[in-house]
Structure 1
Amino acid sequence: MANRSSILEFEVADVDAEHTRLRDHVTDWVQEPTTQPWGNRSMLLRDPDGNLINIYSVV
């Protein structure tokens, strides 16, 4: 059963660089890199087990 109740979050220096590095490996993108209203740049994906992962950087 997929995890639908928690989010793993990782802060990185450059979300767009990580997106480029991961795009050929990730099959379940939830949100492409986006600048959030509160200023963080983030992207969301699901790992093979269905866990939601937020990769973000503080802009």
Structure 2
Amino acid sequence: MLDTQNQGPQCTACGSPMKLTAIEPSAFGHDLRTFTCPHCRRVQRHIIESTATEAWPKMS
């Protein structure tokens, strides 16, 4: 579940708030966001709706 205050999920391993470490374009109108736990280094990736990716150039 995403933490609305930090805009990131809680770590499923230790419960700490995760930090956003990368954003990549995914399907049209969506981002693939990578979150990393600062305590146990667990990584989670989420596809999230975003209007910002619409402005990114299309890859050939």
TM-score by length of 1: 0.34
Task: Tell me: higher relative CO, structure 1 or 2? Use CA pairs within 8 A at least 6 residues apart.
Answer: 1
State TM-score, norm by structure 2.
0.34
